[in-house]
Amino acid sequence: MYKFYGILIITILLMISTLHIDEVIEERQRNEQNAKQELAAKWSEHQVAGAVVLSIPVIENLSHQNTLHFLPENLEINADVKNITKKSGIYKVPLYETRILMSGSFSDVSAKVFETVDTTINWNKANLSLGVLELRGLKSLDIKWNGKTVASEVGDMPSGIIGSARTVLDGAKEEETNLKAPFVGSAVIAKITPDKKLKQEGKGEFSIEMVLRGSERIEFYPFAQTTTVTLTSTEETPTFQGVFLPEKYGVKDNKFHAQWKILGMNRNLPKYWTGDKSFLNEINNSSFGVGFNGPEENYELNALSNKYTLLFIALTFITLISLEVILKFRFHLVHYAMTGTALIVFYYLLLSFSEQIGFGLAYGLAAVATIFSISIYVFRITKVRKSTWIVCSQLGLLYSFLYGLLKIEDFQFAFEATGLWIIVAALMYATIKIDWFNFFEDQSKKQIVINNQE
């Protein structure tokens, strides 16, 4: 019976070693994240589009300075993303450069302004704010208001969007939360005055063309009553993020296409408000977009494959036990330990290879190397070719099963359950003639019989 306990102890020790594999995977994943952050800091973090606000300063009750903020009536965004992959050491970092065209309009501005009581309108200081998350990623910008190019400067998004910006004219601060809006951080502010069309008709049209550099993802904000976003990307498998999914998406001509249409009733934002009100939570909870992390998450696949180590060890050891019955041959506990160690080394090979050549090819090479080494090892011990083919077939089926399990996302659970059922059924059939009552009895005094027939 000592052999049973010996195999059990070996299995436990091997499973403990898998904890180190998890630690190595986490460490390598942290290194990858650090490499991405380092390169993104030089290139640009992720970018946003759609944060367009018309701001008009007012004086309330002859003493309080405030600001009226208006959101567009409609906003159309076209983003053409060119995905770029750069290397930082051994790690590939997803970056992009996107050309964004935005156009939209405001309506009934003057009517809303004159609804306020005891208010003086400072039309000469009206401006259009465009939220830009990472200014260092802004490569070019052209803003037009009512068909005319307007000058712009770097500043902050209106503070009233995130809290109160109300001050007293004599300089005393009544209340102030002059912080940058976390969803954009910075803004490009376009001076749009003087503008008769805005004052007399309460209307204004704008168009914005810009080129942005970014990394990992791009987000959009549905500030308008009707926001339409059309996105194309050279990466064919981006991930959807945020609170809205596209109405249409797909791949055509080797480019990913997606289209969103968000109505005003789909998000909890007013058409206009004064600066002493905050809608920060509503704004942050309305974003949507896509992420560019590539079709394959290397370290996630490595971590998932490591979870099936016990299955590989148990089935391989059962195969060796079956060979003992078939060949009338006894494997030593050292043989079990060496075979189990080879199974563990597979995961180190997989991790190191996948960082260099990708997960799919790395998995194939690591599996072939492991199957070859264990099969040859068993053959050199037993001197029987039949044992080599049995072990080779068993490991080949197991590694094929695991790879299919990792790659089939939609039917993963069904594939796993079916595979386990087949494995259990095969084990039941293969071990039906084994005398388990006497198999693990101490046979140390029995003569070792080796069948050298091929």
pLDDT of residue 260: 94
| Residue 359 zone, left/alpha/beta (φ > 0; ψ -120 to 50; rest) | alpha
- 3 state DSSP class of 91: strand
Give the pairing of strands 64-70 and 52-60: antiparallel
Consecutive H or E run containing 102: strand 91-106
104 or 431: whose pLDDT is higher? Answer: 104
CB 246 within 8 A of CB 233: no
Q: Which residue has the tokens 């001509």?
A: 253
pLDDT band per the 50, 70, 90 thresholds, residue 204: confident
Reply yes or no on whether the pLDDT at 17 is more than 80.
yes
Mean pLDDT of 48-71: 82
The yes-or-no verdict on residue 99 having pLDDT over 90 is yes
Q: Each residue of 103-133: pLDDT tens digit?
A: 999 887 776 666 665 677 778 888 898 888 8
How would you classify the pairing of strands 91-106 and 74-88?
antiparallel
pLDDT of residue 39: 82
pLDDT, average across residues 172-187: 50
In this prediction, residues 228-248 reach a mean pLDDT of: 89
Cα–Cα distance measured from residue 291 to residue 247, given in angstroms and rounded to the nearest whole number: 17
Give the pLDDT score at 79.
94
Is 210 a residue whose pLDDT tops 90?
Answer: yes
How many residues would you count in the chain? 454
* pLDDT, averaged across the chain: 79
The rounded percent of the chain whose pLDDT value lies above 90 is 15
Q: How many CB atoms lie within 10 A of CB 175?
A: 11
How do the residues of the chain divide into helix, strand and coil, expressed in percent and rounded to 5? Answer: 45, 30, 30
CA distance 37 to 414: 38
What average pLDDT does range 49-61 have in this prediction? 83
pLDDT tens digits, 288-323: 999 887 545 788 888 888 888 888 888 888 878 777
* CA distance to 43, 58, 89, 114, 226, per residue, from 109 (Å): 39, 13, 53, 9, 17
What is the signed CA dihedral for 51, 56, 58, 64, rounded to 10 degrees?
A: 30
Task: Using alpha carbons, select from 153, 130, 112 the residue that is nearest to residue 223.
Answer: 130
Is the predicted pLDDT of residue 182 greater than 60, yes or no? no
pLDDT for residue 36: 80
Position 237 scores a pLDDT of 82
